[in-house]
Amino acid sequence: MVCYEELKIKGKGGLNLLRWPGILAYFAEYLPLTGKTPLITLHEGNTPLIASSSLARKAGVGSLFFKFEGMNPTGSFKDRGMVVAIAKAREEGKEVVMCASTGNTSASAAAYAKKAGLSCVVLIPQGKIALGKLSQALMHGARVLAVRGNFDQALAVVRSITSSYPVALVNSINPYRIEGQKTASFEVVEWLSGVPDFLALPVGNAGNITAYWKGFKELWERGKISVLPKMLGFQAAGACPLVLGRPVENPHTVATAIRIGNPASWKGAMAAKEESGGLIDTVTDEEILAAQRMLAEEEGIFVEPASAASVAGVLKKAREGLFQGRETVVCVLTGHGLKDPDIAIKQCEGRVEEVGASQEEVIQILGLSV
């Protein structure tokens, strides 16, 4: 069991949550910062680790926690890496940043670019991005280009342009993104005062599983923890290149955030799986949506579909007998449900009941009695 006190802000009563400074300041010792790095922040990080009140029993584990990254400023885990990437872009004198995105990256890039005084260009796959995410990028003033193709084709264009022009690439292949995202693993250890037996994540472009594993390994190398968790990655069945061992030309899934056929961090994800003794598996869209509903109805946590892949995967592995009943498991919930409300609304069709504007009718339909 470990609690690395040197990471805490000192003061009366320890950490003052009202003074949370963002990850650049809080985790400076663990990040590639210099005296010239601007400490921009929207106060990302410090997201809650929520103990399960229901699904732990269904998973058959000792304890189950949800790392709810939907509580970041733009509603997803992307903010952790983006604040580092944008700060370093400004430090290097860049004036424009660019990314390809299925949604969450575009929202985060646009917000942090605006905070740093930079321009942002986003390439999205035409017609394949949740409107909640697109609205964020547009409202933050990004230049949004809809590519007649999929995410992987959009990313190829971005990589080509940023390698030839003075434009900073801020997708997760930017190593600064991974540096920022690894800080979530530090928080998991700090909140638990220890290390979970398993950490489960959705896997799309594979930057997040790469980052968490990097963070855990750094803590281990520094002697802050003595054991490492097993990493469990879950891809949608229609977009599972890591499971198949080859790119998927036309990925398809209701979980738009992980609808990626050729992950940029392929090698990092496979290293996390192999080095930790973990696994990468698939979950169906039906399993993802069922987990999304269970999180909302049984735990009070509203996530976008891709986020629920971690929970769907843990429940699947529980049915297959992976757990012995004593394990501590953390599921990373990567984005808020308001990122993709259309999917949620479709699942709840017919749930709104019409009633007249009278107390009597409301009492009658609810079946109330004194």
CATH numbers and ranges of domains, the chain: 5-75+177-347 (3.40.50.1100), 78-174 (3.40.50.1100)
Report the distance separating Cα 24 and Cα 47, nearest Å. 15
N- to C-terminal Cα distance for the chain?
53
Strands annotated E in 192-237 = 198-202, 230-236
Question: 10 Å Cβ neighbour count for 257?
Answer: 30
Q: How confident is the model over 354-363, as pLDDT tens digits? A: 999 999 999 9
Report the distance separating Cα 82 and Cα 211, nearest Å. 13
Which residues have a Cβ under 8 Å from the Cβ of 36 and sit 6 or more positions away?
A: 91
Q: Name the amino acid, one letter, at 57.
A: R
**Do β-strands 198-202 and 119-125 pair in parallel, antiparallel, or remain unpaired?**
unpaired
Q: How many helices (H) and strands (E) does the chain have?
A: 15, 10
pTM: 0.91
Report the distance separating Cα 120 and Cα 129, nearest Å. 18
| Phi and psi angles of residue 166, each rounded to the nearest 5 degrees, phi first | -75, 60
| Phi and psi angles of residue 206, each rounded to the nearest 5 degrees, phi first | 75, 10
pLDDT in tens, the chain (370 residues): 233 344 444 443 444 546 899 999 999 999 999 999 999 999 999 999 999 999 999 999 999 999 999 999 999 999 999 999 999 999 999 999 999 988 899 999 999 999 999 999 999 988 777 777 789 999 999 999 999 998 889 999 999 999 999 999 999 899 999 999 999 999 999 999 999 999 999 999 999 999 999 999 999 999 999 999 999 999 999 999 999 999 999 999 999 899 999 998 999 999 999 999 999 999 999 999 999 999 999 999 999 999 999 999 999 999 999 999 999 999 999 999 998 888 898 998 889 999 999 999 999 999 999 8
Strands annotated E in the chain = 49-51, 63-68, 96-100, 119-125, 143-147, 168-169, 198-202, 230-236, 279-283, 328-333
Name the token pair of 319: 């049915």
